[in-house]
Amino acid sequence: MMSLLDELSIDFTKVGAPSEKFEEVSTGLNLDSALLEASRCLQCYEPPCRKGCPVRIDVPVFIRRIKEGDFAGAAQKIKEANLLGGICARVCPVERLCEMDCTRKKMDRTVQIKMLQRFATDWEEENWKKAITLSTERDERIAVVGAGPAGLSCAYELRKMGFRVTIFERSENTGGIPSWGIPPFRMPRVVVQSEANFAIDTGIELICGKDIVFLDDLKQDYDAIFLGIGLADDIQYKIEGSAECIFSSNQFLRQAEKNKLPDLTGKKIGIIGGGDVAFDAARTAMRLGGESVILYRRTFKEMPAEQDEISAAIDEGIDFKLLTTVTEFIHKTGGICTAKCQVMELGPMDRSGRRRPLPVEGAYYNLDLDYLVWAIGSKLDLDFCSMNQINVDRKGRIEVDENLMTNRGGVFAGGDSINKQNMVVRAVAEGKRAASNISKYLEGGI
């Protein structure tokens, strides 16, 4: 038997990434190691792994199926809870989710649930699909705005219930951030497209290249609406100096995906931030021939990025300037820019539970860079919300009630647009929850 990734070798020229350097870094488990790892699972009666999974995958059952050699059955178990099981098997921060409280950890080490999930979903990409059945067709129509993880999962669940569903997506691609933002060396595009296509092929109408501006245009034709619009805008602080050498992380990663960045060979790229997005931008720049330096206000200890990302970045030769922020970016002749860097020190704890970075008075140094990338987060499209009279909460996310319904009746939301903890698996979980609530709403139960 061949795995999905063996069969479909990724053509990076088609997906935009220019070289084999963008091939997936993490290699999955082979058959022998998967069987061995599956045999380590204790098959707990009340499995903490299932509780830790936002979509409640029945982990012990899928692992048992792997152990018994029923790989299609394992994949089916995963996918019945999570349409995007292959994507999540690559990017879920499992140390904080299913693997966190694994009982086996008390004996020796946690079972590698994520790697086993990847093994099953890659191996049996085709066979599990045969098991999916759709309910009888219903008349109600639902519009889903956004084809990211939240939108896809909501649309798929509704479709399985028999509803007529249309997804409106402003870009030309399905998959949301995993299709362009999480770099291919962590998230092969073939996996994203395969899982997105599977959902669409259940009979969902997909309209790409359609930017929804006014929800009232949809209200006439649809009985309910789901907003899976993510966070479209970048957060950027005001910085003095030249704008043409400064990118937001979204711009940088999107342009890398489309092969539209300037030639980075031999260029020095400063990335401001300490989260996964900063690391993704830095590792991408390195693969494009640049030299990356991460500029972060605190120290390694406070960095929000996953440990794996930090270790990979160190291994790949990325440089770090810690306790540093950039206050000015000056374009000099010859293309080089100078970043004026302010030295920081750690003060008392702030609300995030980390020590607050404070500027050291008068302590500055200069750093020559060719480009600067802001990677300090994204925010909601507030214009969209105000134009559509959608309330936004104090954290800058769409306000929803316990049913994930916004202040506008029949308009539901999920994913990053309502969440402070941005994760693919949470977006999937909310898409599912919203689908079930939309069904109740249409039956008059909400």
Ligand X SMILES: Cc1cc2nc3c(=O)[nH]c(=O)nc-3n(C[C@H](O)[C@H](O)[C@H](O)COP(=O)(O)OP(=O)(O)OC[C@H]3O[C@@H](n4cnc5c(N)ncnc54)[C@H](O)[C@@H]3O)c2cc1C
Beta carbon of residue 181, minimum distance to ligand X (angstroms, whole number): 4
From candidates 147, 225, 264, 282, binder to ligand X by CB under 6 A: 147
| Nearest CB to ligand X, comparing residues 158 and 337 | 158
| Nearest CB to ligand X, comparing residues 64 and 283 | 283
x/- mask, ligand X, residues 391-420, rule CB under 6 A, reads ------------------------xxx---
- The answer to whether 230 contacts ligand X (rule: CB under 6 A) is yes
Nearest to 178 by CA among 88, 278, 56: 88
- The answer to whether 423 contacts ligand X (rule: CB under 6 A) is yes
Nearest to 36 by CA among 111, 92, 86, 141: 111
How many angstroms separate the CA atoms of 15 and 333, rounded? Answer: 35
| Nearest CB to ligand X, comparing residues 59 and 227 | 227
Beta carbon of residue 232, minimum distance to ligand X (angstroms, whole number): 5
- The answer to whether 184 contacts ligand X (rule: CB under 6 A) is no
From candidates 5, 83, 200, 229, binder to ligand X by CB under 6 A: 229
How many angstroms separate the CA atoms of 6 and 10, rounded? Answer: 9
- The answer to whether 28 contacts ligand X (rule: CB under 6 A) is no
| Nearest CB to ligand X, comparing residues 26 and 43 | 26
Beta carbon of residue 172, minimum distance to ligand X (angstroms, whole number): 10
- The answer to whether 313 contacts ligand X (rule: CB under 6 A) is no
From candidates 41, 182, 269, 380, binder to ligand X by CB under 6 A: 182
- The answer to whether 232 contacts ligand X (rule: CB under 6 A) is yes
Residue numbers 268-287 binding ligand X by CB under 6 A: 276-277, 280
- The answer to whether 427 contacts ligand X (rule: CB under 6 A) is yes
| Nearest CB to ligand X, comparing residues 246 and 398 | 398
Interacting residues toward ligand X by CB under 6 A: 91-92, 145-151, 168-171, 176-178, 181-182, 211-212, 228-230, 232, 253, 276-277, 280, 384, 415-417, 422-425, 427
